Every structure is written in C-alpha cells, then in structure tokens.
C-alpha cells in the first residue's frame, strides 16, 4: 500500500514536471497578439550604468527605432511605450504573420510612459474588417514573487521573441516618476520595450518598460503592472487622455505624537485643493481612507489617482490628537502636477553619489554626512560615514533631506541651524523628512556628540 501511494505521487510529480518542460503550446497561443513596431525617427543612445528605458537598436542610429507592442482590442488597438513612438514621423506595425500596417497614435500618457496606437488601414474593407487576436489583462496585484512569467518583445529588431523567468520583486521604484514596477530576471533587451509580460495562465500582468544595466553585469527588467496599464489604455481610448484623480497634497509615513497612532502625515497641501478647503492642513495624520487603513502610501496614491473627478473620498484624520472625519471631492489632476518634482530632484541628483565629492559639497559633522543642494529644494546625501547616526535608519546615499523638525530645508546652513537648536536642547533627537528611492518617510536621528 505504501509502495502504491509512493508510486502514484511520483507519477503526479512526473506529469507536472513534464508539463513545465515546454512553454511551446502557450507561446503558440499568445504570439499572434504581439507585434513589432518600427518608427522613422532620430534616436538617442542610452547611457551605460543607468536605467535604460529607451531600448532601441543602436545600429539603426538616425534611421529608425524598434520596439514592441500588443493588441488590446481585436479591431486594431495596440498598447506600447510612449518612448517607442515619441517623435515618430511614421509608425509601422508588423504582426506575427509578417503583415505590415501603418499605425496612428490614439493618445499617450507621459507619467506612465504608455501609448495607444490604432492600425489605420485595418478596416479598409468595411464589410470584412480585419480581426486581430487581443490579449486578456490579468491582475498584477495577485501576482507573487517567484511566479513564472513569459516576456515577449522584439530584441534588437530580430523579430518577436520570448524569454522565460520569474517575478523577482514587486513595487519597485526605478526613478521614472511615481510608478511602481514588477521586476523580473527574464531576458529583456533593447527592442523589448512595450512588449507584454504574461503569466502562465496566458494573461498580461505587465508591460515591459525598462532595464537596469551596469558594465559587465546582466540587466534587470522592469514591467509596468497590468492593472495600471489596463486603466490607462482604457482612458486613452475613451477620452484621448488620462484623467487622474487629485487630492492636492503630499503625504509621508508618520505617527501622531498625541495618540501614537500611525498613518500618512500631510507634508504639503495645495491651497486650491478641496482638501485644504475642507480644513486639512500640513501635519495632520490620515489614518483611514474609504474604510481602508492608511498603511501603504503607494496603494493610497494609486487608489486616489484612479478615482473619477467629482467622486467622494472619506478620510479619518488626526489633528493635534483630535479625530476628524472628512469628505473630500476628488479633483482632476492639473497638468503641472503630473510630474513629481521631488522624484525629479532625486533622479537628477542621484548621479552625484558616483561622481565623488566636489567644491559644492558640505560636510555636516553632527550627522557625519556630506550633502549637496538639490533642486527645487532639499539636500542630496552624497556620503555617509560608517559611524553616522543615519546608519541603520534606511537612509542611503542619493536620498534627499527635505525637512528637519518640520522646517523645509533649502541649504546646508538651513539644516545646520536646525541641528544647532537641537544641540542647544541637550542634543535632543532630530526629526528628518527623507525622500528615498521607494518612498518619503520621517526618521528620528540621535545627534553625534563627538566629531571624528
């Protein structure tokens, strides 16, 4: 009996293992949905050692750029990356059966780097329009680290290719605005940009968007999650643009000192926003939104961004320890708010950590760090000593100090003034607002009493 049970288990395992030996059947099913995209335009070479979100064939410099895309509707609508078609004079789409079509741009969304195309001559015969195989969007939120995936694309202009791998990480920030990405070890190369990432159920869970490469190292791939891509492409097709919800505030993780309750502390608020007009102010703590606990800032930002302008958002907030219930009307995000200036400052100044110290670097002996002024405000950390009180606080070289004890920081002298006040108060802890790669957060720092 034991032998029979063991044999049956082995048989089940063998069948399962055999089923995973080949992706051929799944690839055959999915390949018709993927297209090659070429554009006549002048391209710019990507720099080594950075985030390569261009992914074009360098051999075609000055003549054309190559990328990938996939059908999201069977009547010829295609999703790709904006940078694939940016500045294009002509866009050509080649399907898996080697048929070529001209395509026009339906709309683009710069913050997500997505674009929707439409095959312009797909319905020349109105009685017998062409029908294309469209993808099915999956739920990237349900994807798990370790799940197997297939990445499709047009590497180096060779044609539609597929590579296999796993989801290596989720919710990655890579310096391209506020978007969070899926990370994969699947081979993604120049030309794969705009191609789909499928799970083993044949659902799209990401749009291949970027690779990170260092000299002598393999690249790490990043894909925009399907939930965001599906929402954005639907808005572009319906409205020609993306209407994002806007609260008019910036938040960070914080704790209310009166009640010790955690949530999102409001660090900036626009006086023209409905939130400000409803009485919310800098320093207030959001503890709940629409009956959800305020624990993950990325979830909160995505939730409010995807709300329709005019919808009501219910908030529970703490103001000087007093709990207040607010109802905020979501507004449409103004054009000038689409780019996060703090993230821009971070990505612009992150290069300083590789270039070494210069004349414009100031050493803060009390914190045992070297800093450089960032734009539009804050101080970029370019060096952290091994015995700095910032060590072990989740703070890294390249992060930006935005505030000290709730005072905005614009210069090293500005920061030193706040440090002196803390020193005069018997070296009381200093509260810093830090803009990191993944989020903005407060950190309490014990000041160093000795200068080494």
Question: What is the set of active-site residues?
Answer: 83, 113, 193
Q: CA torsion 423→427→428→431, rounded to 10°?
A: 60
The span from the CA of 272 to the CA of 258, in Å, is 29
Q: Which residue carries 């509707």 as its tokens?
A: 73
Q: CA torsion 112→116→117→122, rounded to 10°?
A: 160
Q: Which residue carries 């529970």 as its tokens?
A: 316
* Tokens describing residue 108: 């683009």
Bridge pairing between strands 148-153 and 90-94? unpaired
Strand partners, 208: 223
Residue 9: CB atoms within 10 A of its CB come to 10
Q: Are 149 and 184 in contact (CB under 8 A)?
A: yes
Nearest to 37 by CA among 84, 88, 76, 75: 84
- Report the residue count for the chain: 452
* Tokens describing residue 266: 């409001």
């Amino acid at each position: 009996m034991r032998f029979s049970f063991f044999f049956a288990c082995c048989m089940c395992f063998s069948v399962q293992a055999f089923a995973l030996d080949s992706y051929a059947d799944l690839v055959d099913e999915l390949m018709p949905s993927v297209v090659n995209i070429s554009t006549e335009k002048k391209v710019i070479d990507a720099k080594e050692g950075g985030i390569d979100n261009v992914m074009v064939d360098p051999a075609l410099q000055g003549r054309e750029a190559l990328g990938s895309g996939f059908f999201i509707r069977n009547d010829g609508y295609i999703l790709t990356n904006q940078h694939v078609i940016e500045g294009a004079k002509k866009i050509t789409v080649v399907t898996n059966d080697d048929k070529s079509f001209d395509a026009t741009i339906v709309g683009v969304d710069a913050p997500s780097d997505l674009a929707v195309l439409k095959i312009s001559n797909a319905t020349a015969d109105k009685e017998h329009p062409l029908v294309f195989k469209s993808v099915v969007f999956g739920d990237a939120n349900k994807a798990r680290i370790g799940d197997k995936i297939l990445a499709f694309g047009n590497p180096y202009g060779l044609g539609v290719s597929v590579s296999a791998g796993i989801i290596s990480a989720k919710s990655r920030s890579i310096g391209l605005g506020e978007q969070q990405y899926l990370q994969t070890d699947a081979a993604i190369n120049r030309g794969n940009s705009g191609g789909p990432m499928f799970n083993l159920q044949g659902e799209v869970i990401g749009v291949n968007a970027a690779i990170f490469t260092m000299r002598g190292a393999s690249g790490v791939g990043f894909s925009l999650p399907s939930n965001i891509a599906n929402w954005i492409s639907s808005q572009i097709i319906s409205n020609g643009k993306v209407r994002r919800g806007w609260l008019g505030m910036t938040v960070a993780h914080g704790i209310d000192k009166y009640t010790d309750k955690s949530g999102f502390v409001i660090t900036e608020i626009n006086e023209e926003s409905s939130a400000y007009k409803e009485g919310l102010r800098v320093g207030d703590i959001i503890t709940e939104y629409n009956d959800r606990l305020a624990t993950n800032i990325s979830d909160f930002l995505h939730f409010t961004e995807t709300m329709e302008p005019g919808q009501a958002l219910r908030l529970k907030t703490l103001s000087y320890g007093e709990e207040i219930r607010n109802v905020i009307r979501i507004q449409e995000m103004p054009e000038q708010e689409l780019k996060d200036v703090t993230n821009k400052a971070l990505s612009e100044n992150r290069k300083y950590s590789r270039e070494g110290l210069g004349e414009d670097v100031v050493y803060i002996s009390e914190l045992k760090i070297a800093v450089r002024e960032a734009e539009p405000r804050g101080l970029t950390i370019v060096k952290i000593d091994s015995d700095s009180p910032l060590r072990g606080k989740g703070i890294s070289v390249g992060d930006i100090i935005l505030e000290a004890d709730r005072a905005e920081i614009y210069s090293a002298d500005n920061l030193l003034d706040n440090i002196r006040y803390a020193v005069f108060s018997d070296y009381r802890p200093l509260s810093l607002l830090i803009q990191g790669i993944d989020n903005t957060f407060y950190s309490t720092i014990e000041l160093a009493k000795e200068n080494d």
